[in-house]
Amino acid sequence: MNIQDFRDLERLVEAKDFKTVKEELPLFQDADIADLLDDLNREHVILVFRSLPKDRAAEIFAYLPGDKQEYIVGGITDQEVGSIIDQLFVDDAADFLEELPASVVKRVLQHASPETRKLVNQFLKYPPESAGSIMTAEFVDLKKDMLVSEAFARIRRTALDKETVYTCYVMDANRRLEGVVTVKNLFLEKDDAVIGDVMEKNVIFAHTIDDQEVVAQLFARYDLLSLPIVDHENRLVGIVTVDDVVEVIQQEATEDFQIMAAMAPSERPYLKTSVFKLAKNRIMWLLILMLSAMITGSILGKYEAAIVSMPLLVTFIPMLTDTGGNAGSQSSTLVIRGMALGEVSLADGGRVFLKELGVSGLVGAALAVVNFVRLILMYPGDYLVAFSVSLALFATVLLAKTVGGLLPLVAKAMKQDPAIMAAPVITTIVDALSLIIYFKVVDALLL
């Protein structure tokens, strides 16, 4: 193979050697071709895209990031765009059109088939990150009274246009879901068995408006390859396939990592995101947290007299606030992740509180003892200082962990993303709380 990376491809295009491009590019996987296109100089993208085999162009198009899709649509004819839209699975078409300005969508859809147009328009109405927004309409539907041999014939006749053929859906006359049958089941049955007798009637499904995270949890729990999605009248309107769910799971986790580190979430890979865009995603939360930290500073300001009279007190502050922040983040991280996996819900508030109380008691006591011993060794005889600092540490850990465990649930109850209540916010809150505790203790015991 001559083409190793996008630079080779670039060179071939510059040399106008489209014969080699047409011969070698199809040897790559669709996802890899999309990657090559994404890295190519803009002026070459359209040329290479047009040289792709017609039957793979739509699939490769679906792998491209939104900005490249938009660029290509601007450079090819409306007829070409219409034919891509027709060939795309409807979930991919809706994904792509979602990002475009309404006027462009209208123009593009005029050149798609009426059937595609109707479907896509319907799909565009589902809320973002809902089951409806990630489902596709291309599934195999069977009837209860079909024989296994008839089912096989139907699958073979329609397989080409289906996103998956391995799970087939049995519907009644009103398109209500009656059962599912997998191709593996069909393989194991006799040709003259009746679908209604061999189908699984106990079907796992989701609603169009369910969150995609709920869909992902169902796939993980029941080891599914696809999941039927029904509308508010329980009619089967689409299916979600496992490849899209793998993407959803990766994306949802990435989004949580970003939100939990106080950033605006972004889907583009780190190295492909511009410095300006990265800075934009990060600045807002840093500003909010910086201004919040000033409150903590003003608490210190209130105790200036104590600090001047006993400057040693200041040296324990980083240990106290850092430990509090870390202890709180541990708890909030576990609860946030538990909620994302569907293992912890709002109703578990009481159990979370009791668990964190118990854990913080154990952990706080252990840390306080180690800290006390350390202080006695460093400042022999200063028992009261060692005791005060250790007591403040114990109280800080207790408070940090219960607050850290409960705040994600509070966020959820207020319809906010629980992931906001992670390390940065918890640290800022616990910093202030731990200083108040510290100086109250110091005030009572040392001054």
Alpha-carbon distance 9 to 23, whole Å? 12
User: What is the layout of strands, in order, in the sheet containing 206-207?
Assistant: 206-207, 226-230, 236-241
Please report, as residue ranges, which positions from 189 to 208 form the binding site for a copy of itself (by CB under 8 A).
Answer: 202, 204
Smallest gap, in angstroms, from Cβ of residue 212 to a copy of itself?
14
Beta bridge partners of 226: 241
Q: Is 47 in the site for a copy of itself (CB under 8 A)?
A: no
Please report, as residue ranges, which positions from 208 to 227 form the binding site for a copy of itself (by CB under 8 A).
Answer: 219-225
Q: Is 264 in the site for a copy of itself (CB under 8 A)?
A: no
Closest by Cα among 34, 138, 45 to 87: 138
Please report, as residue ranges, which positions from 379 to 438 form the binding site for a copy of itself (by CB under 8 A).
Answer: 397, 423-424, 427-428, 431, 435
CB-side neighbour CA atoms (13 Å) of 291: 5
**CB neighbour class for 394 (10 Å; exposed up to 12, middle 13-18, buried from 19):** buried
Please report, as residue ranges, which positions from 5 to 34 form the binding site for a copy of itself (by CB under 8 A).
Answer: 27, 29, 31
Q: Is 283 in the site for a copy of itself (CB under 8 A)?
A: yes
In 186-292, which ranges are E strands?
206-207, 226-230, 236-241
The smaller minimum CB distance to a copy of itself, of residues 341 and 384, is found at 341
Alpha-carbon distance 240 to 257, whole Å? 25
The smaller minimum CB distance to a copy of itself, of residues 112 and 262, is found at 262
Smallest gap, in angstroms, from Cβ of residue 15 to a copy of itself?
25
Is residue 216 a contact partner of residue 248, using CB atoms and an 8 Å limit? yes
Beta bridge partners of 168: 181
Smallest gap, in angstroms, from Cβ of residue 272 to a copy of itself?
8
# of chain residues touching a copy of itself (CB under 8 A)? 109
Smallest gap, in angstroms, from Cβ of residue 390 to a copy of itself?
11
Q: Is 139 in the site for a copy of itself (CB under 8 A)?
A: no
Q: Could you tell me which stretch among 65-73, 94-102, 112-120, 321-329 binds a copy of itself (CB under 8 A)?
A: 321-329
Alpha-carbon distance 336 to 343, whole Å? 10
Q: Could you tell me which stretch among 48-56, 65-73, 89-97, 264-272 binds a copy of itself (CB under 8 A)?
A: 264-272
Q: Is 249 in the site for a copy of itself (CB under 8 A)?
A: yes
